[in-house]
């Protein structure tokens, strides 16, 4: 899907904006702090019903205001309106009709967001990497998303029960009933994550070597307790530990991805800054390809401040790649209009500029 126009009302620091977009490349240019990243985040919100950065919806409403809205028209005659008010109400409307559940909106169109914060994928905790997997699969598989929600609920209840009964006899029948529901969900999520990681591992390296000019192939290894052993056995074996620690020690909530560089060494330890940035971009481009192939539609690509972070040669290669026919509508931000204009002119690429103040 492609955006025809976007209106923002009291969305973070953007008071009231109206944009009409180019079908291919759009660039928001302006000084630091004017709200360029916020505009991209509004597009992300329209797709996912969530901000890329703020976990709490309240922070999306302009300070001291009571509501915000984001409205978009797509070229295929679809209109989406997102509205969040200070009393915690969040509503999404498609072509004039409110969704009864926000989850029904997920997957209508996909967005891939590349931001400087993404280096956390390499340096941060495992939750960030699980989130990447979950976000991507959920976009194209509603059953995966509902399984995830159910899994979290069951895990919360199981852990709460263990905590409440610390040092007391455990109701084995109740535990069995939790486990009987956890097991099939966990197995299904595990197998979908496994095939996703395989697919991504097979595609991101070609982007990586193109961008980084690095001949070494990297490996994305899916780390999970469930690869070798059945979840029933894992749960049984960890039962005593679960009772002592009052939480569930085994399951897909412990999964991770190891990124391995040369000779299988941890990439976060041996990768240069430039290589790590190239890796992140390559990973996101592989995510783009996955979403495109699986959803059979072109995701929207959001490129936030990338020219600040990578050198001239790499940014030229990246632009050349994303402006090819393999990609669709793109939104770029930059603090320096001349820089981006020059790069796009060199490649003979047409672009609409929005000077953001």
Ligand X SMILES: Nc1ncnc2c1ncn2[C@@H]1O[C@H](COP(=O)(O)OP(=O)(O)O)[C@@H](O)[C@H]1O
The reply on whether position 35 binds ligand X by CB under 6 A is yes
Cα distance between residue 346 and residue 315, in whole Å: 12
> What's the min distance (Å) between Cβ of 332 and ligand X?
12
Among ligand X, Mg ion, none, the one that 12 touches (CB under a kind-dependent 5 to 8 A) is: ligand X
CB 286 within 8 A of CB 315: no
The reply on whether position 336 binds ligand X by CB under 6 A is no
Among ligand X, Mg ion, none, the one that 38 touches (CB under a kind-dependent 5 to 8 A) is: ligand X
- Site stretch for ligand X (CB under 6 A), options 59-67, 154-162, 220-228, 229-237: 59-67
Residues 132-171 that bind Mg ion (CB under 5 A): none
The reply on whether position 356 binds Mg ion by CB under 5 A is no
Within the chain, where are the H helices? 36-48, 120-123, 126-140, 142-164, 172-212, 231-237, 239-245, 267-270, 273-295, 306-309, 312-322, 337-346
Residue 33 in tokens: 């702090």
b (16+ CB within 10 A) / e for 196-224: bbebbbebbbebbbbbbebeeebebebeb
Q: Distance of CA 242 to CAs 97, 127, 159, 299, Å? A: 46, 20, 9, 42
- DSSP H or E segment with residue 167: none
Q: Distance of CA 318 to CAs 104, 156, 205, 339, Å? A: 34, 43, 14, 15
Residue number with the smallest Cβ distance to Mg ion:
37
The reply on whether position 332 binds ligand X by CB under 6 A is no
The reply on whether position 4 binds ligand X by CB under 6 A is no
- DSSP H or E segment with residue 105: none
Among ligand X, Mg ion, none, the one that 59 touches (CB under a kind-dependent 5 to 8 A) is: ligand X
When the beta carbons of 30 and 225 are compared against Mg ion, the nearer one is 30
CB 98 within 8 A of CB 83: no
The reply on whether position 62 binds ligand X by CB under 6 A is yes
Residues 97-126 that bind ligand X (CB under 6 A): none
The reply on whether position 36 binds ligand X by CB under 6 A is yes
When the beta carbons of 29 and 108 are compared against Mg ion, the nearer one is 29
> What's the min distance (Å) between Cβ of 4 and Mg ion?
24
Cα distance between residue 200 and residue 176, in whole Å: 36
The reply on whether position 59 binds ligand X by CB under 6 A is yes
> What's the min distance (Å) between Cβ of 8 and ligand X?
11
- Site stretch for ligand X (CB under 6 A), options 61-69, 113-121, 177-185, 321-329: 61-69
Cα distance between residue 155 and residue 247, in whole Å: 8
Polymer length of the chain:
357
Residues 40-69 that bind Mg ion (CB under 5 A): none
Site for ligand X (CB under 6 A): how many residues? 15
Which residues have C-beta within 8 Å of that of residue 226, sequence separation ≥ 6? 186, 187, 190, 234, 252
Residues 25-44 that bind Mg ion (CB under 5 A): 37
The reply on whether position 33 binds ligand X by CB under 6 A is yes
> What's the min distance (Å) between Cβ of 38 and Mg ion?
8
> What's the min distance (Å) between Cβ of 295 and ligand X?
28
CB 235 within 8 A of CB 182: yes
Among ligand X, Mg ion, none, the one that 123 touches (CB under a kind-dependent 5 to 8 A) is: none
Residues that bind ligand X (CB under 6 A): 12-13, 30, 32-38, 59, 61-63, 333
Residues that bind Mg ion (CB under 5 A): 37
């Amino acid at each position: 899907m492609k955006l025809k126009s976007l209106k923002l009302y009291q969305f973070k620091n953007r008071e009231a904006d109206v944009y009409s977009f180019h079908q291919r490349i759009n660039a928001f240019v302006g000084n630091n702090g004017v709200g360029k990243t916020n505009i991209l985040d509004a597009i992300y919100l329209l797709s996912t019903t969530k901000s890329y950065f703020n976990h709490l919806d309240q922070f999306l409403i302009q300070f001291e205001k009571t509501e915000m809205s984001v409205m978009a028209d797509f070229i295929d005659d679809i209109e989406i309106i997102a509205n969040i008010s200070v009393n915690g109400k969040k509503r999404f409307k498609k072509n004039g009709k409110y969704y009864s559940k926000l989850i029904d909106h997920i997957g209508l169109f996909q967005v891939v967001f590349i931001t400087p914060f993404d280096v956390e994928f390499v340096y941060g905790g495992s939750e960030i990497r699980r989130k990447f997997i979950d976000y991507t699969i959920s976009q194209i598989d509603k059953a995966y998303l509902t399984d995830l929600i159910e899994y979290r609920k069951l895990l919360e209840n199981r852990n709460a029960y263990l905590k409440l009964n610390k040092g007391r006899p455990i109701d084995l029948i109740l535990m069995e009933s939790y486990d009987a529901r956890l097991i099939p969900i966990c197995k299904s999520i595990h197998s979908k994550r496994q095939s996703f990681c395989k697919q991504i591992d097979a595609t991101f390296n070609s982007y990586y070597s193109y961008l980084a000019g690095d001949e070494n192939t990297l490996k994305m290894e899916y780390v999970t307790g469930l690869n070798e052993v059945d979840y029933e056995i894992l749960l049984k074996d960890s039962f005593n530990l679960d009772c002592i620690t009052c939480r569930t020690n085994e399951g897909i909530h412990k999964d991770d991805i190891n990124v391995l560089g040369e000779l299988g060494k941890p990439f976060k330890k041996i990768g240069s800054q430039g290589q790590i940035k190239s890796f992140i971009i390559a990973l996101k481009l592989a995510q783009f390809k996955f979403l495109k192939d699986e959803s059979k539609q072109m995701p929207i690509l959001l490129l936030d401040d990338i020219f600040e972070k990578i050198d001239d040669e790499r940014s030229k290669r990246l632009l050349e790649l994303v402006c090819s026919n393999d990609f669709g509508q793109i939104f770029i931000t930059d603090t320096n209009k001349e820089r981006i204009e020059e790069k796009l002119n060199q490649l003979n690429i047409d672009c609409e500029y929005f000077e953001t103040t």
